[in-house]
Each structure stands twice: as structure tokens, then as C-alpha cells.
Amino acid sequence: MQGREAHPHQDRDRDEDGRRTGRGRHVPVMLQRCLDLLGPALALPSATVVDCTLGLGGHSEALLAAFPEVRLIGLDRDKEALRLAGERLAPFGERATLVHAVYDELPDVLDRLGVPRVQGVLFDLGVSSLQLDEADRGFAYAQDAPLDMRMDQSSGIGAAEVLNTYPPGELVRILRSYGEEKQAKRIVSAVVREREKEPFSTSGRLVELIREALPQAAKRTGGNPAKRTFQALRIEVNGELAVLERAVPAAVRALAVGGRIAVLSYHSLEDRLVKQVLAAGAASTAPPGLPVVPERYQPRLRLLTRGAELPSENEVADNRRAAPARLRGAERIREEAG
């Protein structure tokens, strides 16, 4: 399970009532590299950057501090994240506009704000530290909690309802497709058998069931044996891949010429999708054999990373949640073909 920000002093991040505050010094993943990738576009006068996955506001804070003229639009589907990021970004005043939205709603958000094009877009995908560390959200398999996993707790169905109501074949598909779980049939058989006795409601019971269902060989590799199942349920509950399929092309279309996009992914399904969109934009669409390639077939993007860049060993040592991160970037070099 991944997280987007480290927080070595979690206990200092609470107010007198025990609520998390926006004051903690959270360390965003691959921060300097993200600033370097987006920087040339954000140095332009009146530049606007969109942080599509605001989380606790770490990347946004750094962008606003590093580029004093930039305007930031921050999106998050998690209302608690918006509250905390708002506290953190309050010193920047009107330079930061925070919006409760899923990132595939980017075109609508920009339209409402009267922003036709932007100079930068950042995605930091996966689960934020806020979601991982609030036990009652049910994202973490290391602690017993209600099986929820909704990033926006004001809408949709939680993981427990998925486990308790989906047909067995659909559950197998989800675990295989979204969790790349080779033991999907074995796990789902155990889930179906147990849910008939009593519906699932907590993460601890699911973790225990998975441990018992898997053969010994499968439990010896790949970390916690529940990791892939929890990833699959989280993706299903939040529609993450479907949202991402819409969001990355929309973000590319929102870029002005010279604008840049940077995307941090945390598992192969996300990274593959991002790679496909950016690679397609950086490729010529001309039919083979043309002696001269017309403008409308020329690539719209220039790739800024050779493959996916990885966090440094030092960063992983400081922040274990950075370990699975994969960073890709591209620059808009041409308008869409008319």
C-alpha cells in the first residue's frame, strides 16, 4: 500500500480535540524532481498550475513557495484533505483555489473558474497519508478498522458492501485486474463462504481470512498477503482507473503550448495507463510512408523523462512510502490537430 507523504512527527499534527491539523511538516514524494519538471513552465508570467491530487498540500505548498507568481488550483475528492490543505496553504491567500472534485472533473473545474489553459498539471496518485493513517478510513491492512476505503466519504459504496454483495465472478475479476492477485479464486471462495455466515465489516477479519486462504508459498513473497486485495478493493470503490483514464488525457488537453505535466504513480496499472497516454501524445499519427509529415500529424507532446523515474535510495530510506513511486513527465509542444 502506498502513501503520498511522510510525516515523522504525526503526534504534533493534532489540535486540542485530537483532530489532525494542517500544520504538520509532511514530506511529499519526489518533491524536488516534480519542481524541476514543472519549473520551466511555471516561471512564465501569470502561470497557473493544477494539483489534481491535493492531499495534505505538500506539493502545492512547495509549488507556491518556489514560484511566487504562480496561481494554484488544488483538487481533492476528500473533504477532510481539503480542510487540512486549506490550513496549510492559508498563508498564500488568493493564490490558491481549492475545489472539492475528482480529478477527471478537471475540465469542468477550469471552465467554472474561467481558466482556458494552464501551464502545469501535477498528479500524485494513490492513497494519501491522511487516508492511510486515519484508522477509521479502512485503507490500511495493518490495523483493524471499518472496511470503508472511500476517498470521498460523502458518496458511493464502501469496501464492505463490495465484498458482501458483488457476485463471486465479479470479485475474482476485480482482484485479478486491479490487484494482480494470482490467488483471486481461492480468496473469493473463502470470502463467499464467510460472508454467508456473517457479512464483512472490518479490515482485520478480511486480513485474517486472506492469511488462512493462501498457500504457504504465496505468503512468503511480496510483503503482506492482503496488500493486493486491499489495493483491488480500493481501486474498485473509488473507480480509480476509470477516473485516471479520463483524467490524464483531459489534463494534457488543458495544457497550453509550453505547459508541462508530471504524474507520480504507485503501482503498475496506474503507471502503464499514464505511459500509454503520454507516449501516444509524443508519437506521430501520420500514415506510414509520407515523405513529409503534415502539421496535424506531428506529436503534441515531448517526453521529459526516460521511462519512469524512481525515487533515490536516500528518499526511500527516509520515507518508505516513496518506494513504489514512478514519475513521468511531458511538455505540450503543439496544439491539438484541428
Q: Where are the domains of the chain?
A: 5-130+240-332, 134-238
Residue 297 assigned as binding residue: no
Which architecture, in CATH terms, is 134-238?
Orthogonal Bundle (1.10)
Mean pLDDT, residues 190-206 taken together: 95
Q: Cell triple for residue 99? A: 475545489
pLDDT above 90: residue 40: yes
Q: pLDDT by residue (tens digit) across 220-259?
A: 666 778 889 999 999 999 999 999 999 999 999 999 999 9
Nine-digit cell at 37? Answer: 519538471
Amino acid, res. 19 = R
What is the 8-class DSSP label of residue 287?
P
Contact between residue 133 and residue 55 where contact means Cβ atoms under 8 Å apart = no
Q: What percent of the chain has pLDDT over 70?
A: 85
Q: Return the higher-pLDDT residue of 10 and 304.
A: 304
The single-letter DSSP state of residue 77 is S
Cell numbers found for residue 32: 524536488
Is 57 annotated as ligand-binding? yes
Look up residue 140 and give its three cell numbers. Answer: 490500511
Collapsing DSSP to helix, strand or coil, 260 comes out as strand
Residue 21: pLDDT band by 50, 70, 90 thresholds?
A: very low
Q: Which of 42-46, 56-60, 83-87, 131-135 has the lowest mean pLDDT?
A: 131-135
pLDDT score, position 73? 98
User: Once rounded to an integer, what is the mean pLDDT over residues 145-159?
Assistant: 86
The reply, when asked if residue 136 is annotated as ligand binding, is no
Q: Which residues share a beta bridge with 96?
A: 72
pLDDT of residue 20: 46
Q: Is the pLDDT of residue 23 over 60?
A: no
| Calpha distance 224→232 (Å, rounded) | 14
Give the model's pLDDT for residue 225: 84
Distance CA 31, CA 121 (A): 14
pLDDT for residue 287: 86
Q: Between 160 and 13, whose confidence is greater?
A: 160
Q: Which long-range contacts (CB under 8 A, 24 or more apart) does 65-68 make?
A: 66/35, 66/39, 66/42, 67/39, 67/42, 67/43
Mean of pLDDT values over 28-55:
95
Cα separation, 79 vs 70, in Å, equals 24
User: Is the CB of residue 59 less than 8 Å from the CB of residue 72?
Assistant: no
* Mean pLDDT of the chain, nearest integer: 87
Asked whether the predicted pLDDT for residue 262 surpasses 50, the reply is yes
Strand-pair partners of 327? 264, 309
pLDDT value of residue 121: 98
> If residue 105 lies in a helix (H) or strand (E), which one and from where to where?
none
Q: What is the mean pLDDT of residues 165-178?
A: 97
- Structure confidence by residue, pLDDT tens digits, 66-108: 999 999 999 999 888 899 999 999 999 999 999 999 999 999 9
218 pLDDT band (50/70/90 cuts)?
Answer: low
Q: Is residue 24 part of an annotated ligand binding site?
A: no
Question: 58 labelled as ligand-binding?
Answer: yes
Question: What mean pLDDT comes out for the span 307-316?
Answer: 95
59 assigned binding-site residue: yes
pLDDT digits (tens, 9 = 90+) for 111-138: 999 999 999 999 999 765 554 555 555 5
Pairing of strands 301-303, 326-332: antiparallel
Instruction: Report d(CA 24, CA 21) in Å as an integer.
Output: 7
Write down the pLDDT at residue 126: 73
Query: Which residues fall within 8 angstroms of residue 314, CB to CB, at 6 or more apart?
Result: none
Q: Is 103 annotated as a binding residue?
A: yes
C-alpha cell belonging to residue 141 = 491492512
CATH number of 5-130+240-332: 3.40.50.150
Hey, what amino acid is at 43?
Answer: A
Dist. CA 328–CA 303, nearest whole Å: 8
In the chain, at which residue ranges do the beta strands (DSSP E only) sit? 5-6, 27-28, 48-51, 71-76, 96-100, 118-124, 255-265, 301-303, 326-332
Question: Is residue 160 pLDDT above 70, yes or no?
Answer: yes
Q: Extract the C-alpha cell encoding 72.
A: 494554484
Query: What does the pLDDT read at residue 102?
Result: 93
Q: Does the pLDDT at position 332 exceed 70? A: yes
Contacts of 30 (CB under 8 A, 6+ apart): 264, 309, 311, 315, 322, 325, 327
